[in-house]
Structure 1
Amino acid sequence: MSLLADQADMASIRQDAFNIFQAGIAAADPYQAVKRHLVPELFGSCSKVHLIAFGKAACAMAQAASEIIPAGMLADRGIAVTNYENVTGIDNVDVIGASHPLPDAAGLNAAKIIAERVRNAQQNELVLVLVSGGGSALIPYPADQITLQEKIATTDLLLASGATINQVNCVRKHLSRLKGGGLARMAAPARLHALILSDVLGDDLSSIASGPTVADSTTYADAIDILKAKGVWDQVPINVRQHLEQGMLGNIEETPKPGDDVFKNTGHTLIGSNAISVNAMLQAAKNLGYETKLYSDHLCGEARTVGPTLVAQCIEGRLQKAGALGEITLQNKPMALLAGGETTVTLKGNGRGGRNQEMALAFAIAAEQQGLTGNWAFLSGGTDGRDGPTDAAGGIVDRNTIQRMVQAGANPTELLENNDSYTALKTSDDLVNTGTTGTNVADLQILLIQPAP
């Protein structure tokens, strides 16, 4: 094969991977999801509707809802809180920009406005809550005696420790007035219904945006155990430790649990998820002529080990699926191995990057070291368009990635060890840049393999 033909094939397979990724993002379009699920029957005999939206998809969701809520029923103006990059103007809705992944003062002020609005809702009124990923950071409302900076410090420690999203949310719930069912408690006795776009694998409603409208089964003791298990308990601000200890002793009210009366008038509708996006990718890959296989619908673990594990299984020619889904046998035809999930990164260095970029870099290094043959491309990206504290959604690597890095004077292994995947992938022109997407249903992975001739 000529060099030009080889380059054309590589460009083609990389474009296929990106198109499949975009199909997954499109399936999580929040505007269309609200349009499909917000039915007139939901408003019933309510005299007023209080529209509250928060998360990375808040603007698109609020726009759709404002077009559906019957004329004259909207109480005051709606409120939508989203990350700064996703702020857009909406008629009859006050849009507030706030920081993500670490909260800021703008988010705190927005949370206070939401709390006041919800507390004022009356028994014959509906509080319509539109929830999407990122809500935990965007509406911080620390419990008494805890400052926003102390909560930020605690969240920062957890994120750097490699804690899972469920572990982070457990702690957040017990440091917050809104999370862990707190918003539902404030809304009672008004009716409350939430439309939820899930960024959590398995779609546990109590974990999405830290579950502000649903019951919480975790406890103060659980939060303390997580901080100790991750080795950060002694680094957490003293006020946070004291608050959690007082809660464990029963001196501070627990989050509302399943069966609590505050949930008698609440309801929820799941309108989008990672699983829906993975299914859309499977169909898109099939339409492009690939033999499609689901590698995992719950991809998790350390990003830098998940990538090499996938490479090793490709080399062996058999891919063990997650759970009890059986095995995949690689065939002598173009194949698409697809996954959805959310891995973690334990910070060891001071570089830049995110879990998707780290996984892509680790995959490329392992593929080079282990000799993965054929024409292949691997893409890992966040559906929100932002991977970690960077402007990239993730990374896309191929069999020439490491060569490009080395020729540019970069050391891929050293950069990985320093958690500097962003620099590595930028050097080889392998960053995935989509811009902010206005949605968030966790991460998506695409591995395309064309067998060697």
Structure 2
Amino acid sequence: MLAAKRQRGRDMTAALRALLTIHRATTIPACWGQASHPRSMSLWEDGLHLFRSAVGVVLPAPLLRRAMALKTDGSARLVVGDRAYPVRRNLYLVGFGKAVLGMAAAAEEILGHHLTQGVVSVPHGIQACLQQAGMEEMLLKPHSRIQVIEGAKHNLPDREALKAASLIRELAEGLMADDLLLVLISGGGSALLPAPTPPVLLDEKEKVTKLLASRGATIQELNTVRKALSLLKGGGLARAAYPAQVLSLILSDVIGNPVDVIASGPTVYSPRRAQGCLQILAKYSLLGTLPKSVETVLSASDPSAPEDDSHVCNVVIGSNSLALEEAKRQAEDLGYRTLILSAAVCGEVSRVAKFYSQLIQLVCLRVAGPDEAPRRDQVRGHLLKLAAELAIPDLALEDSLNALQGLGSEQLVCLLAGGETTVQVQGDGKGGRNQELALRVALELHQAKATGACFFLRKYEVLFLSGGTDGQDGPTEAAGAFCSPELVGKAAREGLDVETFLSDNDSYTFFSKFQSGHHHLLTGLTGTNVMDIQVVLVRARDR
């Protein structure tokens, strides 16, 4: 398993499994929209439906069409929000990220002959995957004005991504004041725009990034260092395009949607902050391993930003929150009392797993009688302590718990959250943060149930799901995994020790041992990326 952002590394050609395309699966059967939940539908089916629905609403083409329009009444102009840009075949396009190919296809369709030229940097193998999956609408048409370069195999910078970055920089530097540069950005953009600041070489920059990722650095920390060692990140692309107008449309894969962090902020002016980079490198004990070229760049003065950055406009058009809101609507249609906990769940997976376990136990204890009040208060106390330690942004936990207290035992409950956890690599196994989180939640629930600490778990069906919206979790074809409190006991009866798999970070192999197909979340390539989604479903067992 790989840590933090490295967990997302994968070979794009491995995506073709299971479902044909996720967006075609978002059509809801009529019976699923009824207020009363049919008992014939399993929690697994509900969870899969909610995940599909969440991803379907953040597919790149629909997002782009909602975000911008070409108005041709009178003089032609590109309209985004309350801004209008005159266009007269002065429009250029660049892009980088996992969802950018679909965004570019939609953009070219909208812009027509006003688009003069474009270059996009996209993941290795993505065109073949989309074509084989029948996702033709995410592919550019023949004779497109946009050049496509595939690179960043396993989500790591490589020579092809460097070539794409050089072409993007060349295009930007050739623009004039009357030109408009449309920049499309999505998750994975950092690896696809890797041009290092001389004298740093690509291999040297990659070495530093991989070392940070392997030690559990956050995406914010990774991007801080990336920006300091990059020509185009940290506003470098906007500098290259000056004085042309720059309009960035962004599909966010970062908690809180900070535009200076997404893909390391290529169109957001920011200083290099060498001192901050050194502090991050010191935190992970890497100062003594830096190449000389990296030391040279970090000791140099920061490049200055133009006095006026009014030529740049950054717009976030899709995010994890948007996906969660759609999942909430679908869950409510299925009859669930639904709460969105946060779109910013973060932290090490073992701690996040404990948080979810305590939360699920509290949901099952919500209608316990007076004799269970001490146990309920104890679980609530543990939960609040964990929440404080994790410091999850926008987590209205007290309000959520109060809302749950008024629900009866027969009420279906759905809890939704999103974000991005991290894993500290200890073994050589295969998996991703979502699969490991699901397996750790299963272990926590098993232990609570086995010790009798929460016998109320036995009265409810519980499902936990965690999945990456890009359709892949770590270097695997799985997007994530499902679990229940019964999973660990079932594994033990088959001679599988969960803790052994976890110690080797081998969650993928564990879930692969089950032939039912109801443990791995297999979606195939989605063509989008807005971090991860977690779903908790709880309903009373049939009497």
TM score, norm. by length of structure 1:
0.91
Which runs of 5 or more structure 1 residues have no equivalent in the other structure?
1-7
Give the corresponding residue for 1:192.
246
SS, match of residue 141 in structure 1: coil
Report the identity percentage: 36
**2:101 aligned with 1:59:** yes
* SS in structure 2 at match of 1:96: strand
- What is the CA–CA distance in structure 1 between the aligned matches of 2:39 and 2:483, rounded to whole Å? 14
Deviation of residue 236 (structure 1)? 3.4
8 Å CA contact 1:83–1:97 kept in 2: the answer is: yes
CA distance in structure 2 between the aligned counterparts of 1:378 and 1:422, rounded to whole angstroms: 16
Cα distance per residue 1:316-339 (max 9 Å; x no partner):
445657556224236422100100
Moved more, 400-409 or 299-308: 400-409
Task: Say if 2:68 is the partner of 1:28.
Answer: no
Q: How far has the Cα of 1:255 moved from its partner?
A: 6.5
1: CA distance, partners of 2:39 / 2:494: 23
Q: Residues 89 and 115 of structure 2 are in contact (CA less than 8 Å); yes or no, is this contact kept in structure 1?
A: no
Change (3 A) 1:90 1:17: same
Amino acid at match of 1:34: L
User: Is 1:310 aligned to residue 351 of structure 2?
Assistant: no
Deviation (angstroms), 1:207: 0.7
Inter-partner Cα distance in structure 1 for 2:395 and 2:201: 45
Separation in 1 of the partners of 2:317 and 2:326? 15
**Alpha-carbon deviations, 1:51-77, whole Å to 9, x = none?**
112100111100110011142x2223x
- Give RMSD over aligned pairs: 2.0
Question: What is the deviation of 1:410?
Answer: 2.2
Q: From 493, 500, 508, give the equivalent of 1:422.
A: 508
Residues 443 and 485, structure 2, Cα contact 8 Å, conserved in 1: no
TM-superposed deviation, 1:393: 0.7
Task: Specify which of 300, 307, 311 is matched with residue 261 of structure 1.
Answer: 307
Q: What's the counterpart of residue 163 of structure 2?
A: 109
Is residue 167–residue 226 contact of structure 1 (8 Å, CA) maintained in 2? yes
SS at match of 1:440: coil
> Distance in 2 between the 1:290 and 1:217 partners?
47
Per-residue deviation, 1:45: 4.7
Q: 1:10 to 1:367 in 2, by over 3 A?
A: farther
| TM-score (norm. length: structure 2) | 0.77
Which residue in the other structure is 1:136 paired with? 190
Q: Please point out which of 401, 409, 432 is paired with 2:521.
A: 432
Residue 341 of structure 1: which of 419, 438, 441 is its match?
A: 419
1:14 CA displacement: 0.6
Distance in 1 of aligned mates of 2:336 and 2:247: 41
C-alpha displacement of 1:418: 1.3
| 2:491 matched residue in structure 1 | 405
Aligned residue number for residue 74 of structure 1: 115
Structural mapping, 1:39-438, within 5 Å: 39-40=69-70, 41-42=77-78, 43-45=85-87, 47-71=89-113, 73-76=114-117, 78-87=118-127, 89-91=139-141, 92=144, 93-99=146-152, 100-216=154-270, 219-244=273-298, 246-247=299-300, 250=301, 253-254=302-303, 256=305, 260-261=306-307, 263-316=309-362, 317=365, 318=380, 322=392, 323=394, 325=396, 326=398, 327-328=400-401, 329=404, 331=407, 332=409, 333-371=411-449, 372-373=457-458, 374-428=460-514, 429=517, 430-438=519-527
Residue deviations 1:278-316 (CA, integer Å, cap 9, x gap): 111111111111110122221111012201221123324
**Partner Cα distance (1:85, 1:303) in 2:** 30
What is the distance in 1 between the residues matched to 2:308 and 2:183?
16
CA contact (8 A) 2:246 2:312 kept: yes
**Residue identity matched to 1:75:** T
Q: 1:82 to 1:334 in 2, by over 3 A?
A: same
Question: Do the aligned partners of residues 423 and 262 (structure 1) sit closer, same or farther apart at CA in structure 2, a change above 3 Å counting?
Answer: farther
- Supply the distance in 1 between the matched residues of 2:341 and 2:187 (Cα, whole angstroms): 24
Bigger radius of gyration among the two: 2
Farther off after superposition, 11-20 or 217-226: 217-226
Q: Secondary structure at the match of 1:75?
A: strand
1:268 positional shift: 1.8
Letter aligned with residue 489 of structure 2: Q
Question: How far did 1:90 drift?
Answer: 1.1
